[in-house]
Amino acid sequence: MNSSDHNHGGPTSPLRPAARHASPGATLPLAVRVEALEEDLVGIVGRPNVLSDAELRAPYEVDWTRRFAGRCAMVARPGSTAEVAAVLAACCARGVSVVPQGGNTGLVGASVPPDDSGTCVVVSTRRLSKIDPIDKAASQVTVGAGVTLAALQNAAAAEGFAFPVDLAARDSATVGGMVATNAGGLHVIRYGAMRQRVLGVEAVLADGTVISHLGGLLKDNTGYDLSQLLVGSEGTLAIITAIRVSLVPETPHRAVALLGLESTSRALDVIDKLRANLPGLQAAELFFEDGLALVRSHARLGPPLARAYPVYLLVEVAGRVDCTDDLLNALTVLDLPEDAAAIGVDTSTVTKLWEYRERHTEAVSAIGIPHKLDVTLPQSHLPRFEKDLRSLLAGRFPEATLVLFGHAGDGNLHVNVVGPDPNDDAVDEAVLTLVASFGGSISAEHGIGRAKARWLGLSRSASEITAMKAIKAALDPYGILNPAALFAGA
Ligand code: FAD
Ligand code: 2HG
Ligand code: ZN
């Protein structure tokens, strides 16, 4: 490991000596320790980067869904890896817990304080926003954890590359947060999720120790892969400060088809056929008639097709040369009625067609605070799961509105349930139990966070959870990093 600081230009204030081996000073009352910590943090990141005023803290204390909120003592905004290290060393020495936060677009409640005690520190990574020059020979780049997905995508495009993980929260979600959640998104069928793009990370452990492995070597069998261990760790093992990612060649030509279909089974059949005929297929997104109606009324959009269909599938193909004919030829094989497809090849039509799918999340939020359940099923079980889910909700939660959509090509459905009290998790329990009965996963891409910690055992065995807890205890022995995430009651 070398311990180079990716953001070496950052620190302006003198760093306090790290209290690495001090055990949390638990002998003093927590309120006294938190007060002393504020002075420590001001000494590390400077007064303007310690937000303790309620109004300044507020945007960091509630999550995107509004279902999860809490209160912290302060928000610390370090500007370099060295500052993150000093902040964590100080929090560890004072025995004060830390919630790492990037863009705060996470959907499982783990980026905000877990309760109203006002005793934790939110560490925001947004100032870690440096993008190194692209290593063109290797098709790689190192970026700070606070770089947004859109900024990384734009930097890659400027040099003829693409960063192919994509999601609707691209303007706010940070690369660090996307690594911490192993974000999936819209192009997993072609390029995989974040895990497949991460070649190495720099991170700070709970006691302030920096670990750094940003060399980007393709072959590197030198023991445990600590970088991959941090992918999907949801801020429970370390704060990621920089990431080395792999890029792909830019594919500037895109073509999209929005198809109206009669059933979910038919949508899966279409996906199978397109996969076989379209090597450039990069998205296969599913939504339903009621979800489309909600999006259309929220976003004031006209109908995409001449008539309504029960099921919609949005498919996208992209390449280095025009791929419109590829898409049209592949659609011919499907034998669809003529008016059942809307095609987009220019940027404006492509963007418009994507709106019908991408705006589901905000349209759901506009009608209430959802129970948001992000699940994967073995693909062949999707139609049966959909049927059982609809009858389960109609029978047990008649007041519920279900908005179902997702990445059908990955077997990933987003189950949004609005109506039941957001503080009552009976509906979460019922849906996740149904998912487990199909051999599915209770979290496809958003993570476990706070929202699903109680049900981790539905997807992971007791011995797996014990092994995960052992790793947590080894890297964060005082349990100060995101204590409410992942493990219930940890
Ligand atoms: P945050 O919300 O700030 O944090 C998320 C988690 O990561 C928390 O546990 C936090 O503690 C931890 N964390 C953040 N930064 C760090 C760090 N530097 N080091 C250690 N831990 C850290 N997700 C998908 O997978 N696919 C989608 O298609 C998708 N679409 C979305 C669309 C919308 C409109 C919205 C609002 C969200 C969507 N998401 C999607 C969810 C969200 O954008 C992702 O989970 C994203 O990865 C979160 O990034 P963030 O920077 O906002 O992280
Ligand atoms: C998406 O695919 C996101 O749009 C958000 O993962 C899903 O809002 C949701 O449930
Ligand atoms: Zn998604």
Distance 443 CA to ligand 1 centre (A): 13
Instruction: Let me know if residue 441 belongs to a domain.
Output: yes
User: H helices within 46-126, ranges in order?
Assistant: 54-57, 81-94
C-alpha closest to that of 13 among 101, 95, 78, 108: 78
Same domain, 335 and 259: yes
Same domain, 296 and 219: no
Same domain, 166 and 195: yes
- Number of the ligand 1 atom closest to the C-alpha atom of 174: 51
Local structure of residue 42 (DSSP, 8 states): H
On whether the pTM is more than 0.75, the answer is yes
Full DSSP string of 374-402 = EEE--GGGHHHHHHHHHHHHHHH-TT-EE
Among 249, 267, 282, the domain-final residue is 249
Sign of torsion, CA 28 31 32 38? positive
Asked if residue 414 has its Cβ within 6 Å of ligand 2, the reply is yes
Among 203, 231, 249, the domain-final residue is 249
How many domains is the chain built from? 4
Distance 439 CA to ligand 1 centre (A): 25
Same domain, 119 and 188: no
Tokens of 304: 């995409």
Same domain, 114 and 32: yes
Ligand 2 pocket test, pick from 64, 108, 167 with the greatest ligand atom count within 8 Å of Cβ, gives 167
Instruction: Let me know if residue 484 belongs to a domain.
Output: no
Same domain, 338 and 411: no
User: What is the Cα–Cα distance from 307 to 25, expressed in whole angstroms?
Assistant: 67
Domain with residue 11: its CATH number is 3.30.43.10
Domain with residue 434: its CATH number is 3.30.70.2740
How high is the pLDDT of residue 338?
Answer: 84
Asked if residue 372 has its Cβ within 6 Å of ligand 2, the reply is yes
Instruction: Let me know if residue 455 belongs to a domain.
Output: no
Q: What domain range is 398 assigned to? A: 368-448
Q: Where are the beta strands (DSSP E) in 77-151?
A: 98-101, 121-124, 140-144
Instruction: Let me know if residue 49 belongs to a domain.
Output: yes
Distance 232 CA to ligand 1 centre (A): 10
Instruction: Let me know if residue 241 belongs to a domain.
Output: yes
Same domain, 119 and 206: no
C-alpha closest to that of 441 among 411, 416, 419, 462: 411
Domain with residue 208: its CATH number is 3.30.465.10
User: Nearest residue CA, atom 10 of ligand 2?
Assistant: 414
How high is the pLDDT of residue 470?
Answer: 98
Same domain, 298 and 401: no
User: What is the Cα–Cα distance from 166 to 150, expressed in whole angstroms?
Assistant: 9
Same domain, 163 and 110: no
Domain with residue 322: its CATH number is 3.30.70.2190
The Cβ of residue 250 has, within 10 Å, a number of other Cβ atoms equal to: 17
User: H helices within 438-475, ranges in order?
Assistant: 462-475
Distance 183 CA to ligand 1 centre (A): 7
Assess contact for 211 and 50: CB atoms under 8 A: no
Instruction: Let me know if residue 353 belongs to a domain.
Output: yes
How high is the pLDDT of residue 24?
Answer: 54
Distance 184 CA to ligand 3 centre (A): 7
Tokens of 238: 């370390």
Identity of the residue numbered 254: R
- Please report which ligand is nearest the Cα atom of 108: 1
Q: Report residues of the chain scoring pLDDT below 50.
A: 1-4, 7-22
How high is the pLDDT of residue 10?
Answer: 34
Model confidence over 249-281: pLDDT tens digits? 999 999 999 999 999 999 999 999 999 999 999
Same domain, 8 and 116: yes
Instruction: Let me know if residue 15 belongs to a domain.
Output: yes
343 membership: H or E segment, kind and range: strand 341-344
Same domain, 334 and 438: no
Among 303, 337, 361, the domain-final residue is 361
Distances (CA, A) of 64 to 61, 174, 237, 418: 10, 14, 23, 15
User: What is the Cα–Cα distance from 309 to 394, expressed in whole angstroms?
Assistant: 21
Model confidence over 46-90: pLDDT tens digits? 999 999 999 999 999 999 999 999 999 999 999 999 999 999 999
Instruction: Let me know if residue 477 belongs to a domain.
Output: no
Integer-rounded Cα Rg, in Å, for the chain is 23
How high is the pLDDT of residue 489?
Answer: 72
Model confidence over 87-125: pLDDT tens digits? 999 999 999 999 999 999 999 999 999 999 999 999 999
Same domain, 120 and 18: yes
